[in-house]
Structure 1
Amino acid sequence: MYATERQQQILDVARANGRVEVKDLADQLDVTPETVRRDLTVLERHGLVRRVHGGAIPVERLGFEPGISDREQVLAGEKERIAKRALDELPAGGSVLIDAGTTTVRLAEMLPQDRELTVITHALPVAMVLATRPGITLHLVGGTVRGRTLAAVGPWALRDLADIHADVAVLGTNGLTVEHGLTTPDLAEAAVKQAIIAASHRVVVLADHTKLGRVDLARVAPLAAVDTLVTDSGVDAAVAAEVEEAGVRVVLS
């Protein structure tokens, strides 16, 4: 097992159980405690866990939300494949609302040069990618910019989105379950995501497998609001089946 795979497994266990212990992880992974401690140090450096005596706690349990630079380094390959597969969900022409997130930025980077689209976004990284792109008519939603996600939120953003009706919305999420639908750590971003959904004819959610089965503080929408979920092949088959039974088309990358 590569170090990155082991670290992802440690993170999955931490998120599922609420914390991890060095000794238990060493036994489960058949590695030395020193190896586990190095892995936890890497995860903490990326802003994903907080070290405590004898183990670590995922930042979600502490009320922390990783910044965009930290999240860009996590599951980069999976996000790349998800974004590439999501291109098939976009119209040949027309309008697309692109949400904030590391996977949606990758999607923006991959938009075909010869496709004419109107893109609306509240995410500064997405806007920076597309601002000079030929064939793209870009509309930037205003508001108060959150430092952690570089996304505009608040009353201005909600007013802008209320005047829009896009063909497709490409949405990111921090958590997705059948019971609680889409969730995210921040209430202001949840409100903007709700407005994006309301402003779109179709909703496509991009989420790597670690987001499925996770619940965060702020509820965005029930799964009934989602048309398609694009995720990676690491998703648990039973979880994917539950999502499909709830009426969402699941696409694996």
Structure 2
Amino acid sequence: MFAAERHRLIGALVDAQGRVTVGELAGKFDITKETVRRDLAVLEEQGTLRRVHGGAVAAGKASTSEQSLGTRQLQRHEEKLRIARAALALVPTGAASAVIDAGTTTELLAELLTAEPDGRHDQLLVITHAVPIAYRVSTASKLQLEMVGGRVRGLTSASIGAATLEQFAALRPDIAFIGANGIHASFGLSTPDSLEAAVKTAIVRSARRVVALIDSSKFDEETLVRFAGLEEIDTVITDSKPAGALAEALEQADVEVVLA
């Protein structure tokens, strides 16, 4: 096989799988690992992929890359909706408080809350720093809303900064529903932006119970800033069963995994 054809196939594999390893490619194409590394170097120079330890990932998977809220709302909608429905069952009834973090799956949870029949969550106080979620909750007269303010980050429409952190530090909600850009066995939960990460850390530390809403595309991903270890999370709701090192780490950290 000519190198150009092999490069095309490697690029297609990275696009399909998101990640490839040197060993995997060496076996698939019956070439040495040194040849694989040279191929990856060429493809990285062309912008097709990005080399990481042991292999390569798609070029768009840099640790600081982050898509807009609108773009993410179009991705994996059915999986996120199933996760949100499973999360709805964990929202406490009676006089209770719940933080809903910024994100597309958490926004679906807020939407489901507003659509519920009157009575079930009439005494629920929803706390959020996300403008879209606050707007949704504000349209439902049966729900109480506390908006945590600060400087709003345009990409996520969420409050960030010292004022936001101070307000969350003064709260002790019954439960928090958070999102993440990645969940990894050793690195924990992460997000690309340091200011967003600081807010997520504050939410995790404030809540009596922490539930992470994470679809399976985030498994084994490490973005730039770690905001929580697995041991700080009580429950992960996802659409597919974790496997390998991540599954083992979740079990060791005594994290409940709920499949939606």
TM beyond 0.5: yes
The one-letter code sitting in structure 2 at the alignment partner of 1:156 is: A
Q: Which ranges of 4 or more aligned residues in structure 1 deviate by more than 6 Å?
A: none
Pairwise CA distance, 1:12: 6.0
Distance 1:169 1:203 in 2: 5
Distance 1:128 1:207 in 2: 23
Distance 1:12 1:243 in 2: 26
Distance 2:259 2:248 in 1: 12
Report if aligned partners of 2:106, 2:179 keep a CA contact under 8 Å in 1: yes
Report if aligned partners of 1:99, 1:169 keep a CA contact under 8 Å in 2: yes
Between structure 1 and structure 2, the one with the greater Rg is 2
Task: Give the match for residue 185 of structure 2.
Answer: 178
CA separation of 1:135 and 1:181: change in aligned 2, threshold 3 A: same
Provide Cα deviations, 1:71-90, integer angstroms capped at 9, x if missing partner: 11111110000000111111
1:93-172 counterparts in 2 under 5 A? 93=94, 94-111=96-113, 112-114=116-118, 115-116=121-122, 117-172=124-179
Distance 2:63 2:256 in 1: 33
Distance 1:194 1:142 in 2: 16
Provide Cα deviations, 1:3-32, integer angstroms capped at 9, x if missing partner: xxxxxx965623x249xxxxx9xx99xxxx
Pairwise CA distance, 1:92: 1.1
CA separation of 1:152 and 1:52: change in aligned 2, threshold 3 A: farther
Report if aligned partners of 2:83, 2:237 keep a CA contact under 8 Å in 1: yes
Report if aligned partners of 1:11, 1:58 keep a CA contact under 8 Å in 2: no
Distance 1:113 1:52 in 2: 56
Distance 1:11 1:148 in 2: 25
Any idea what SS the aligned residue of 1:119 has? Answer: strand
**Gap runs ≥5 in structure 1:** 1-8, 19-23, 29-50
Distance 2:257 2:110 in 1: 21
Provide Cα deviations, 1:46-65, integer angstroms capped at 9, x if missing partner: xxxxx995845442327321
CA separation of 1:143 and 1:241: change in aligned 2, threshold 3 A: same
Task: Give the match for residue 42 of structure 1.
Answer: none
Report if aligned partners of 2:97, 2:173 keep a CA contact under 8 Å in 1: yes
Any idea what SS the aligned residue of 1:60 has? Answer: coil
CA separation of 1:209 and 1:11: change in aligned 2, threshold 3 A: farther
Task: Give the match for residue 44 of structure 1.
Answer: none
Pairwise CA distance, 1:241: 4.6
The one-letter code sitting in structure 1 at the alignment partner of 2:150 is: G
Matched, 1:203 2:207: no
The one-letter code sitting in structure 2 at the alignment partner of 1:159 is: E
Identify the match of residue 237 of structure 1 among 223, 233, 243: 243
Distance 2:77 2:247 in 1: 21
Pairwise CA distance, 1:164: 0.9
Q: State how many pairs are aligned.
A: 214
Task: Give the match for residue 77 of structure 1.
Answer: 78
CA separation of 1:180 and 1:90: change in aligned 2, threshold 3 A: same
Any idea what SS the aligned residue of 1:100 has? Answer: coil
Task: Give the match for residue 33 of structure 2.
Answer: none
CA separation of 1:155 and 1:11: change in aligned 2, threshold 3 A: farther
Provide Cα deviations, 1:157-176, integer angstroms capped at 9, x if missing partner: 01111211100000001111
**Gap runs ≥5 in structure 2:** 1-12, 30-43, 50-57
RMSD after superposition: 2.4
Report if aligned partners of 1:178, 1:246 keep a CA contact under 8 Å in 2: no
Provide Cα deviations, 1:88-115, integer angstroms capped at 9, x if missing partner: 1111130000100000000000112421
| TM-score between the two structures when normalised by the length of structure 1 | 0.78
**Identical-pair percentage:** 40
Distance 1:60 1:142 in 2: 30
